[in-house]
Structure 1
Amino acid sequence: MSTAGKVIKCKAAVLWEMNKPFSVEEIEVGPPKAKEVHIKMVATGICRSDDHVISGHLMTALPVILGHEAAGIVESIGEGVTSVKPGDKVIPLCAPQCGKCKSCKHPESNFCVKNDLSSGLQGKLQDGTTRFTCRGKPIHHYLGTSTFSQYTVVDEISVAKIDAASPLEKVCLIGCGFSTGYGSAVKVAKVTQGSTCAVFGLGGVGLSVIIGCKAAGAARIIAVDINKDRFAKAREVGATECVNPQDYDKPIEEVLQEMSNGGVDFSFEVVGRLDTMVCAKICFAISSSAI
């Protein structure tokens, strides 16, 4: 039965306060307004950016439904929506694309000015309101997506239609982790054919960097992590060598410089620690790039 125009009751993980656990609540999700899309969520990842909100390192309006790395199926659409239709498989976009602003039109940028970050994480859709309520109170959106809910509403500029055969439990990672890593290699660093790359950190984003380096034609991709259990997957997706800093009695940046005859061409830090950032910066050749 169609849910178009109706309020849906469903479960969602609501963050009421910082540094407190999520509360799984029954919420009400309002129908999509003009140029909005109602999505039934099928799969969602958990990103460190979500944890930053919980810890208070990233400030957003509370209470809020977090989540921004997901995939689902269009439940219904608002007036004027043309890019998707009910039944389409889609990925919500935490980085929207209005296609009209200066940033969207710039060939080297994709940080649309209508991004929730640009407005200071106020937790609203483009019309300045929310579609979530719980216990009679409005609940804020997060990055225009809020995927920690069985149903969500996003602006049309914050959704991308994907192939009908796509496995949603896998392609959900394209919403943030994969595109961040792959894009850093291919779009930002612009890794070159035959180059040598170092990747510090072999989590989901680090593995995506490796995939990007391989796609760009890197000859050597040196994967660095203190967890050896991650090496097999790193090699599977394209790493040519794997290095554990704990296996050496000298700084890892010196090890990499020796391995690469003076320094790697591209260096990626995908851990988020100051010490690994410094290592990544030091280990690459003077004329090369660190990301």
Structure 2
Amino acid sequence: MIPLNNIPKTSMKSIYLHDPNIIKCRAAVTWGVNKPFSIEEVEVAPPKVNEIRIKMVATGICRTDDHGMKGKLENSYFPIILGHEGAGIVESIGEGVERFKPGDKVIPLCLPQCGQCICCNDPRTNICIVASTDNRRGLMADGTSRYTCKGKQIYNFFHTSTFSEYIVVEEIAATKIDNNAPLDNVSLIGCGFTTGYGAALNTAKVHPGSTCAVFGLGCVGLAAVMGCKAAGASRIIGVDINKDKFDLAKELGATECINPKDYDKTIEQVLQEKTGGGLDYVFECVGNTNTMVAAIKSSHFAFGTTVIVGVSDKNETITIDPMIFLTGRKMASSILGGLRVKDAIPKLVTAYMEKKVDVGKLVTHRLPFEEINKGFDLLQSGKSIRTVLLF
């Protein structure tokens, strides 16, 4: 366990209880659907076998957290500590942990890898069967929680629950990163940046000279723009109804941006006309079923590929004529860019440290952790790209 004098000063608000293995700290607890975040004092149990406890330093506010707060995801249980995009420092380790030691800088993984299941041993996917099964319960692998508040069990979110000063995750749900990395910026690599950037470079495999369109210019969409540029796309069209995002999109690589509300025609008709029949690659980063259909129809009828990146509500479906795929169109889905994040995230952090990718440009707001509700107001009003909360 790290001595208190070696933990960043911001963490001194946390204190040990009479049991030195239990930590009492602040966390943003959501007590029910659509309830505002409540900064509470929670008890964080020590890590058990193959688990680690992390002192969080920074966490981003992602649209998926907003879905979780609103009960739109199947794995939202209440009361819950949300958050899944963050970075911190290992505080203590449980029995059997070999990959980490106290003091390591880490990024928690909302898509863990056990390394042993049939999916982890198949290069075609980055999904882990073991982690996917456990994730739906909002509890640790042993069926219990490491968080309590006011005598009540608190559920976790996507294995991580980064809206807490201290968190406990399984060893398979974290990856070690460069110890010199600034944790406020690289926290985005835990989800938003990796999701969009990987969708372009890994899932779609955008080729040099190609044409691309990105629906939704939030953090994920802008990361997709960055990925398309890195891949050498000749034309990258950003699509969003919020024109305030256009300047940053162009700075990051978009060759032009359009607002669907500026046209009498459908956005798919506009894009088809602009590109002479449709685009090579289209990325849907909104999570809206209507824009998913529009994105598919915007791809070239003979060889276009559409990648669905956005997360829709759990009960929504899309309806589309299957004949649209007969001539060669393709559709793919992408979660965290289709990347094995345990290995990919450290490499992306290194790329950031070497100034090959500028993740920091996606951070528009930095707020103290206790202002989490303000951060969500910025997200919901479209005034932020990514807000990072600092503990």
TM-score normalised over the length of structure 1: 0.94
User: In structure 1, the residue corresponding to 2:236 is in which secondary structure?
Assistant: strand
Determine if contact 2:134/2:141 at 8 Å carries over to the other structure: no
Determine if contact 1:44/1:172 at 8 Å carries over to the other structure: yes
Q: Distance in 1 between matches of 2:40 and 2:157?
A: 17
* Aligned counterpart, 2:226: 211
* Aligned counterpart, 1:81: 97
* Aligned counterpart, 1:244: 259
Question: How much has 1:250 moved relative to structure 2?
Answer: 2.4
Determine if contact 1:5/1:31 at 8 Å carries over to the other structure: no
**Is 1:142 aligned with 2:152?**
no
Q: How does 1:33-72 map to 2 (within 5 A)?
A: 33-59=48-74, 60-72=76-88
Question: How much has 1:217 moved relative to structure 2?
Answer: 2.0
Letter in 2 for 1:276: T
User: In structure 2, the residue corresponding to 1:109 is in which secondary structure?
Assistant: coil
Determine if contact 1:95/1:112 at 8 Å carries over to the other structure: yes
Question: How much has 1:106 moved relative to structure 2?
Answer: 1.0
- CA shift digits 1:78-122 (9 cap, x unpaired): 12212221111110001001111111111121111122x434621
**Is 1:192 aligned with 2:207?**
yes
- CA shift digits 1:175-194 (9 cap, x unpaired): 11112111211222221222
How many positions carry a matched residue from both structures? 290
Question: How much has 1:5 moved relative to structure 2?
Answer: 6.2
Between the two proteins, what is the percent identity of the paired residues?
Answer: 59
Q: Distance in 1 between matches of 2:248 and 2:34?
A: 33
Cα 1:168–1:120 shift into 2, 3 Å: closer
Q: Which has the higher helix share?
A: 2
User: In structure 1, the residue corresponding to 2:90 is in which secondary structure?
Assistant: strand
Question: How much has 1:57 moved relative to structure 2?
Answer: 1.5
Question: How much has 1:252 moved relative to structure 2?
Answer: 2.2
Which of 286, 290, 297 is 1:275 aligned to?
Answer: 290
**Is 1:265 aligned with 2:265?**
no
**Is 1:121 aligned with 2:136?**
yes
Letter in 1 for 2:42: I
Determine if contact 2:134/2:140 at 8 Å carries over to the other structure: no
Q: Distance in 2 between matches of 1:100 and 1:217?
A: 36
Question: How much has 1:247 moved relative to structure 2?
Answer: 2.8
User: In structure 1, the residue corresponding to 2:199 is in which secondary structure?
Assistant: helix
Question: How much has 1:72 moved relative to structure 2?
Answer: 0.7
User: In structure 1, the residue corresponding to 2:130 is in which secondary structure?
Assistant: coil
Determine if contact 2:135/2:158 at 8 Å carries over to the other structure: no
Determine if contact 2:26/2:165 at 8 Å carries over to the other structure: yes
Question: How much has 1:38 moved relative to structure 2?
Answer: 0.7
Letter in 1 for 2:203: V
* Aligned counterpart, 2:113: 97
Determine if contact 1:5/1:32 at 8 Å carries over to the other structure: no
* Aligned counterpart, 1:230: 245
Q: Distance in 2 between matches of 1:123 and 1:282?
A: 37
Which of 29, 32, 39 is 2:47 aligned to?
Answer: 32
Structure 1 runs, 4 residues or longer, greater than 6 Å off: none
Q: Which has the higher strand share?
A: 1
Q: Distance in 2 between matches of 1:277 and 1:148?
A: 30
Q: Distance in 2 between matches of 1:54 and 1:100?
A: 32
User: In structure 1, the residue corresponding to 2:226 is in which secondary structure?
Assistant: helix
User: In structure 2, the residue corresponding to 1:187 is in which secondary structure?
Assistant: helix
